[in-house]
Every structure is written in structure tokens, then in C-alpha cells.
Amino acid sequence: MISRQSVTVAKWEFLRFFKWKQQLISYLLMMAVMAAVALWSYFTDESRKVYRIAVPAEFTISNTEQFQFQRPTIALDEQLAQLKDGESWHGVVTLSPDKEAESGVVLHTLAAKKWQQQLEAELNNYFRQQYATELQLTAGQLSRLQQPLALEYVYLDEDFKGKDTPEKMIALGVLILLFIGLSTAFGQVLLSITGEKQQRVTEQLYAIVTPQQWMDGKVLGHSLSAMKAMVTSALVMLLVFIVVSVVVRDDGINLSWLNWGVLAWLVPFALLGVLLSACFMGAIAASIDDPNTSGKGAVMMITWLPMLFTYLVIDSPTGTAMTVLSWLPLTSFAAMPVKMAMVDLPWWQPALSLLLLVAAVWWMRRVAGRIFLRGMQMYGKEPSWGQIVGWALSNKAD
């Protein structure tokens, strides 16, 4: 089915963009950046500092780990002057003289800071307790008032696995990985095909391999690159999860939430999805004569739409939209794995969806081959959209 020449082209294309040293360096850099961000947040964490707050004498608010409340006897002007000098207080709380004001409480500080949100929470809590005392509520009554509604969901559809389950995280992970894979393929396919045209290799290659063999090789090589990017990213995600579990949370490694049955289906869907998208990208790139002047490259981003549509309906995995998306061959590679992660499906549904996807890939690779051949015969003239659609729909032999 795939010729020896296509495999040679695929190998060449895959290795052309396989720069393992650069990739390793980029992952190390990414980890260094993540570590730097973590260290920065640790050292600039305002919640670990103690803040002194001046409050009116009548406040009975208690000190917390973060805030020391002081009741100065000096006049407000003097308090504010000392606040400005930064010597005595980080903030001064007063009651608003304006009785009509909604809050009635004023916080004087030098500038906006993150710790002020925590102070606001403390003040809120204090005032709630004050009002409860005024209303003669017990601590229990106050606690119940403050408790949000605990709404429990009971799903009667036995196939639906739940809304906020690990399966949903897997589904989101699938979409992210597909996005990473297709972004990789997008750049490489565009660069590779239009680059060969710019470097004038195309005509020489035409004399050696058929346009279909050439396109098959390109698609296969860049799909492998995309899969490699997805696998590498998945491994990095898993590594981060393990590091966080073991080092940060001290929980040990627990991968029981991984649904291996769904993961086994993910691989063929992801591979075929990447192949389908790479065929489409190849077809568009083959119609571009000069990437510097053509506006067609942006059309390749259409391949990201299946992920976007699936994300938009991810909270309704049994809804009509998700059902349509999971059957439509152009979107099923993103929607069906997500649906499978969240809903138990009979085996024939993903199998049939996969079969339709295989047919779509087969058709799209033929279209890409035809567009490449016809585009090349135009010698520097870019085909119109009408011509491209005509070639795509024609059944003429290459």
C-alpha cells in the first residue's frame, strides 16, 4: 500500500526535523523555567509575611498568622502619615464617615497588593460574626448560613461516567496532545513542501517518484513527527504529574485513574487524525507557490477546529453536537476519544467511526496527491480555490 519510495521520503522528512539535541535542550529549558517560576512564587509569596494593620479601638478582631491588628490611640492623620513612612503599619482600617456608603469600611494602604485580598476575607468574616451577634445567632446557625449548597448529582444514564472525573482530565489531555501534534505538523508540512518548491527540488523529485508517492512520504514523515511530539509531551506531562505527586504532595505514584481501555483506542484515533490533518495541510501547502505572498497557509489552521468544537461541547458528552462530531470523519478523531473517555460506548461505535476515518484519510491523501501534481504543472502560477476544489473532486487518474 505504501511504496518503498514513500517510506524513503517519510524517513528523510522525519529525520530532517528530528533534532534530538535541540529538543532535549528545549525540554531542559522548559523545566528550568518552571523551576524558576516555582522558586519566584515561593520567595514572593506574601501570605508567609506578617502584616500590621491599624484598626479602630472598638474592633474586637483577633490576630491571625498573617495579620496583627493594632488599635493606635493617635489621630487618623498621624496614623496615615506613619503609614506613608512605612514604619508602623501596612494598612489602616477606618469606618467610613459616609453613612450611606455600602461597605462602611475603608482600607488605607500605599498601593494594591495581593495580601489585601486575604485581609478583606478576614474583615468580611469579622463583620459577619458581628452581625450574627447583633441578630443573636449561635455559632452553629452562622456556620450553616455560610455553608454553600452541597448539590449532589445523580445521573440516570448509566453509561455517563461523571462530570468532574479523571476521565475528563484524560479527555482534555487528548485535546491538548492533538493540538500539540497538529501544531508540529502544521509548521513542518508548510516549511517542507513550500521550502522544496523554493529550493527548486520539486521537479527533480518528480522525475524520480510519483506525486502520490511523494505526498504519501511527506504525510507519513510529518505525521510521525507529530506523533513523536505528542508522545514526548505526554511523557513530560506524566513526569510532571509524578514529580508533583511524589515530591510536592508526598502521595507516591498512583496511576489507577488511567483508563487503559480508552487509551488503547486513543492511539489509532490520534494517528488517523494526524494523518488526515497532515493530508489536508499537504494539499493546501502543495497549492502554495510562494509562502511569502500566499494567503493560503492560514487555511491549514482549519485542522485545529475539531479540537475547538469538541472542547466547546465537552460538558455535554451525550448531546447531539458531540454525537455528530464523533461520527463525522473530519472531526471524529478529536471527538470520539473524548466521548469514550467520558461515556461508556458499545465497541462497534468507535470501530465504525474509526473505519469512516480510515476512508476519509484514504480520500484526502488522493486529493493531496492530485493537488500537488496539478499545482506543480502550473509553473509558478498559484491555483484558485475553484481549481483546487475541482481537482479535489475530480476522479482523473494522476
Partner 1 sequence: MQLIVTAISKDYGSIPAVRQVSFQINSGEIFALLGPNGAGKSSIIRMLVGMTKPDQGSILVSHQDEHYDHVPRRLLGYLPEDRGLYPDKSIEKNLLYLAQLHGLSKQKALKEMAHWLEVFDLTDRRDEDLKQLSKGNQQKVQLIAAVLHQPALVILDEPFSGLDPINQEKVVGFLKALKARGMTVILSAHQMAMVEKLADHMLLMAKGSAILTGTLADIQQQAGPQRQMAISCAGPVNVEQLQQWLPDLAIEVISANRFILKLTAEQSVSATLKLLVNELELTQVEMQTADLHQLYLMAMARHQQREPA
Using CB under 8 A as the criterion, which residues of the chain lie in contact with partner 1 when the complex forms?
Answer: 4-5, 8-9, 12, 16, 199-201, 203-210, 376-377, 379
Nearest partner of 93 among 66, 67, 129, 114, judged by Cα: 67
Find the shortest distance in angstroms from Cβ 382 to partner 1.
15
Find the shortest distance in angstroms from Cβ 283 to partner 1.
19
Q: Which is nearer to partner 1, 138 or 199 (CB)?
A: 199
Find the shortest distance in angstroms from Cβ 275 to partner 1.
22
Q: Which is nearer to partner 1, 204 or 395 (CB)?
A: 204
Q: Which is nearer to partner 1, 53 or 219 (CB)?
A: 219
Find the shortest distance in angstroms from Cβ 14 to partner 1.
13
Q: Which is nearer to partner 1, 137 or 205 (CB)?
A: 205
Torsion over CA: 251, 256, 262, 265 (sign): positive
Find the shortest distance in angstroms from Cβ 206 to partner 1.
6
State the amino acid at position 368 in one-letter form: A
What gap in Å lies between CA 115 and CA 51, rounded to an integer?
9
Q: Which is nearer to partner 1, 249 or 396 (CB)?
A: 396
Q: Which is nearer to partner 1, 19 or 144 (CB)?
A: 19
Map 187-226 to HEC letters.
HHHHHHHHHHHHCCCHHHHHCCCCHHHHHHHHHHHHHHHH
Nearest partner of 227 among 30, 6, 14, 21, judged by Cα: 14
Find the shortest distance in angstroms from Cβ 380 to partner 1.
9
What gap in Å lies between CA 36 and CA 386, rounded to an integer?
52
Sheet architecture: strand order including 51-54: 67-70, 51-54, 91-95, 105-108
Radius of gyration of the chain (CA): 31
